[in-house]
């Protein structure tokens, strides 16, 4: 099986990390981008090198899925370490293992600590738990690959305490742009749902409280769905089984063909098959279908289980992002509601695409203003980014006006970031341990020599990124911080996007004019040409 370009890049990056001495590395791929295929190919290469591989997962469905994908993509069979089944005494070089089974002391102690050379963790955001850590510590010398969909910042910080590096990340916008995932249109429903009394348990909204808060609005939600989902193949996520069943009954009452599945459904496989074939057009569930189930023809997702956890939100939406050209699917419709909550932040469509919290907040505000109108999330993110940049520029202009009274030899980092229009710098958040520490004296001295004020850079990761950017700018022949400071102090804008020679020639011209701006130049309109 031939890998897609990004999948091949991911595979190469993983081995590069391991070959460089990194033991534990991370792969981030959005739901629907073939993470199982990638780690199956990584497994194949490890086996070719004579290694023994353990694939860990916390659910039986994921283990079966991994074993099936491994067989189909590589031809490799595998042993199972689960319940009564054991890999010991078999010839297989690959083992799919249940965390619940392997974490038991009796089972774990039956393995030598060097039994496995490589461990692959599916849905790696779970690996910080004690059960996973017990296994990983036992096989502490093994190379580890964690695979997950887009995590939130909290997840990344947690994962950064275990993993040493991020080998490769493929983003949702890039996957959509390159045609591997379906475009997403977000539709904010102008129905205000009061969640102010919902409490938090284990880091997320308490399911029973959500159910209670949701109950009075269920009929209104169905009525809204009639406007937008009548001709859609829809999956609805709800907080509890009883709520899911009640909502199914309401949907059927209003003319939908709705079914419900839960962990106790004895006919679950049959219902999922019937939904896939079109017998039902709405499928209700209480968080059962977040992992390990795919139906590409799904073209509408309704999230009635609000969450603070981005990875969970992405998993819900991910049930609808797969392509299905044979059914004429050209986008996924994502219904969002005006959840009213006083104390807690919750995930919105912006959480899928925005890396920067400020942009995400602005995008959510913009979508709420356009309630009732489907909006492409990439266009919405672009508009929000532009709005935030404009706000930042306005704020920066005020700061710079106040600073004009002071002569500064160095460029403020914020001014530098805005001038070169570096969104990756302004939205940077450190993930790994070394990045979170303060800048080193060497970093500070180098930054100052290059014309950047280091005092306002509060972590080593940000300092490293700016130093790297300065080196690249030098190679590319772009303006220096000192050129930026001089020209922008005289009213020129975005000097950071100019060529070095352009800025030099202009400064020379100003110097030759007695350090006055030539009469034929209007700084605010000058484009660096």
Higher pLDDT among residues 314 and 342, named by residue: 314
Under a CB-based contact definition with an 8 Å cutoff, are residues 303 and 313 in contact?
yes
Find all residues with CB under 8 Å of 50, minimum gap 6, and list them. none
Q: Which of 58, 134, 81 is nearest to 103 (CA)?
A: 134
Asked if pLDDT for residue 242 goes beyond 90, the answer is yes
Find all residues with CB under 8 Å of 134, minimum gap 6, and list them. 103, 108
Asked if pLDDT for residue 340 goes beyond 80, the answer is no
Percentage of the chain modeled with pLDDT above 90:
58
pTM over the 0.75 mark? no
Pairing of strands 300-303, 375-376: unpaired
Q: How does pLDDT run across 407-453, given as a tens digit for each residue?
A: 467 888 888 888 888 878 888 888 888 889 999 999 999 998 888 88
SS3 label, residue 145: strand
pLDDT of residue 146: 94
| β-bridge mates for residue 339, sequence order | 193
Q: How does pLDDT run across 254-312, given as a tens digit for each residue?
A: 999 999 998 888 888 899 999 999 999 999 998 777 766 788 999 999 999 988 888 88
> What is the strand order of the sheet 165-169 is part of?
79-81, 94-98, 53-57, 118-122, 143-148, 24-28, 165-169
Under a CB-based contact definition with an 8 Å cutoff, are residues 292 and 268 in contact?
no
Residue 150: which pLDDT band, with cuts at 50, 70 and 90? low
- No. of H helices and E strands in the chain? 23, 16
Of 8-17, 39-48, 346-355, 460-469, the range with the lowest mean pLDDT is: 346-355
**What are the φ and ψ backbone dihedral angles of 514, each rounded to 5 degrees?**
70, 30
Distance in angstroms (rounded) separating the CA atoms of residues 294 and 208: 27
Of 73-82, 90-99, 316-325, 417-426, the range with the lowest mean pLDDT is: 417-426
The structural domains of the chain, ordered by start, are 5-170 (3.40.50.300), 177-384 (3.40.50.300), 407-525 (no CATH)
């Amino acid at each position: 099986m031939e890998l897609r370009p990004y999948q091949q890049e991911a595979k190469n990056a993983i081995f590069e990390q391991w070959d460089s001495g990194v033991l534990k590395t991370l792969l981030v791929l959005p739901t629907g981008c073939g993470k199982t295929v990638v780690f199956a190919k990584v497994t194949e290469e490890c086996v070719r090198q004579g290694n023994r591989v353990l694939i860990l997962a916390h659910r039986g469905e994921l283990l079966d899925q991994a074993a099936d994908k491994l067989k189909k993509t590589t031809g490799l069979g595998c042993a199972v370490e689960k319940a009564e089944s054991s890999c010991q005494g078999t010839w297989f070089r690959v083992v799919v293992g249940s965390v619940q089974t392997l974490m038991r002391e009796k089972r774990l102690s039956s393995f030598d600590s060097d039994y496995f050379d490589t461990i692959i963790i599916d849905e790696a955001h779970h690996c910080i738990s004690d059960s996973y850590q017990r296994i990983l510590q036992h096989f502490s010398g093994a190379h580890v690959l964690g695979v997950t969909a887009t995590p939130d910042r909290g997840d990344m910080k947690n994962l950064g305490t275990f993993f040493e590096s991020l080998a490769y990340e493929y983003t949702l916008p890039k996957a959509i742009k390159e045609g591997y995932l379906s475009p997403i249109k977000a539709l904010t429903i102008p129905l205000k749902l009061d969640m102010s009394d919902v409490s938090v348990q284990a880091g997320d909204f308490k399911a029973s409280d959500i159910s209670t808060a949701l109950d009075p609005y269920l009929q209104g939600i169905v009525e809204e769905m009639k406007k937008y989902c009548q001709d859609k193949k829809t999956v609805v996520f709800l907080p509890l089984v009883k709520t899911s069943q009640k909502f199914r009954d309401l949907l059927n009452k209003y003319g939908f063909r709705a079914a419900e599945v839960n962990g106790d459904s004895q006919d679950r496989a049959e219902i999922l098959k019937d939904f896939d074939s079109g017998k039902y057009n709405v499928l209700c569930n209480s968080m059962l279908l977040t992992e390990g189930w795919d139906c590409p023809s799904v073209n509408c997702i309704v999230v009635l289980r609000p969450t603070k956890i981005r990875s969970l939100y992405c998993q819900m939406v991910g049930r609808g992002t797969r392509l299905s050209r044979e059914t004429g699917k050209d986008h996924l419709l994502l219904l969002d509601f005006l959840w009213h909550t006083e104390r807690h932040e919750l995930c919105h469509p912006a959480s899928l695409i925005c890396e920067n919290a400020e942009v995400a907040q602005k995008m959510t505000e913009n979508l709420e203003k356009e309630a009732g109108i489907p909006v492409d999330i990439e266009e919405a993110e672009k508009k929000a980014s532009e709005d935030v940049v404009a706000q930042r520029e306005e704020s920066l202009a005020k700061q710079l006006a106040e600073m004009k009274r002071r002569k500064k030899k160095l460029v403020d980092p914020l001014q530098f970031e805005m001038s070169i229009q570096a969104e990756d710098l302004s939205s940077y958040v450190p993930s790994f341990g070394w990045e979170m520490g303060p800048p080193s004296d060497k970093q500070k001295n180098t930054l100052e020599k290059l014309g950047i004020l280091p005092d306002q850079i509060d972590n080593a990761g940000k300092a490293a990124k700016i130093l790297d950017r300065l080196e690249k700018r030098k190679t590319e022949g772009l303006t220096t911080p000192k050129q930026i400071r001089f020209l922008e102090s005289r009213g020129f804008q975005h000097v950071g996007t100019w060529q070095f020679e352009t800025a030099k020639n202009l400064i020379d011209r100003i110097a030759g004019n007695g350090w006055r701006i030539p009469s034929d130049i209007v700084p605010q309109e000058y484009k660096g040409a």
